[in-house]
Amino acid sequence: MSEITTSSDKSGGVLEDSLEVLWAPATVFQRSATRGVGMYMLVLTAFLIIVMLATKGLLQPYMDANYDLQMIKMAEQGKPVPTEGLETIRSISSWTLLIGWSLTAVFSGIAGGIITWLAAKLVRTPLAFGRAVFIATLASVPRVIGFLSMAVQGALVNPDTITSPFSASLGPARFLDARTANSAVLAILGGIDLFTAWNIVITAIGVSVIAKTSRSSGWIVSVIAWALSVILTLLPVLLT
């Protein structure tokens, strides 16, 4: 009987946790509350690198649109737009964006962890910084699904209708033309989509489980963290 109990209480593996957090986050956080975050970042990053390399052709229209948008913004600000080596610059821009996307789990884990920790401090929820990073890393898994969604859309959508990576958003930002839309409005609406909502839910549950607080407190921390991230996204737009 003791062997059966031990087997049922055994923690899931990193890959299992990374998948199951999508539909049973409370279970994952309960059994993995004291685990280190490094392996989760490593596994998610390795998976994203594979996804990015395998779907680069499908993601290319979004990367090209992002480059074109940056050129438009530079021209509007009176900055010189390069006239030579455009294809080389475009290629470098694409690979830079691809590498950035591949490191989503790392960036989201660290930046999201800082923001979640600060949000917890604001409402006096006892959450250690390392645990905040752990929560934010697992909460980034929906963003991985978001890139798969982008790749699928890249195979189905007319490239001429793509004006930025926001064109793949499963939220209001997809209906805006990034070339003409107000940058602040685009940044705000870009923070409202299915995968962001999923991230908020996982964060709220993670905070409540790991900090051993009420679910409502977890929701408060998660929503404040989301609001802070939107504000930080807006700052570069407001300062230009």
62, 167 contact by CB (below 8 A): yes
Domain boundaries, the chain: 26-239
* Residue 31 pLDDT class (50, 70, 90 cuts): very high
Mean pLDDT of the region 68-72: 88
* Residue 133 pLDDT class (50, 70, 90 cuts): very high
Please say if the pLDDT value at position 1 is more than 60. no
User: Looking at residue 142, what is its pLDDT?
Assistant: 97
- Please tell me the distance from the alpha carbon of residue 31 to that of residue 62, in angstroms, as a whole number: 38
* Residue 2 pLDDT class (50, 70, 90 cuts): very low
* Residue 71 pLDDT class (50, 70, 90 cuts): confident
* Residue 80 pLDDT class (50, 70, 90 cuts): confident
Query: Contacts from 86-94 at CB under 8 Å and sequence distance 24+?
Result: 90/64, 93/63, 93/66, 93/67, 94/60, 94/63, 94/64, 94/67
User: Looking at residue 32, what is its pLDDT?
Assistant: 93
Please say if the pLDDT value at position 151 is more than 80. yes
Full 3-state SS string of 57-115 = HHHHHHHHHHHHHHHHHHHHCCCCCCCCCHHHHHHHHHHHHHHHHHCHHHHHHHHHHHH
| pLDDT, tens only, 167-224 | 999 999 999 999 899 988 998 999 999 999 999 999 999 999 999 999 999 999 999 9
Mean pLDDT of the region 56-75: 91
| pLDDT, tens only, 86-111 | 788 888 999 999 999 999 999 999 99
User: Looking at residue 10, what is its pLDDT?
Assistant: 53
Mean pLDDT of the region 130-146: 97
Low-confidence winner among 36-45, 59-68, 71-80, 134-143 (lowest mean pLDDT): 71-80
- Please tell me the distance from the alpha carbon of residue 57 to that of residue 189, in angstroms, as a whole number: 27
Any idea what DSSP says for residue 158? -
* Residue 76 pLDDT class (50, 70, 90 cuts): confident
Any idea what DSSP says for residue 12? P
User: Looking at residue 97, what is its pLDDT?
Assistant: 95
Per the prediction, the chain carries an average pLDDT of: 91
Percent of the chain with pLDDT over 70: 93
Q: Is 237 exposed, middle or buried (0-12, 13-18, 19+ CB in 10 A)?
A: middle
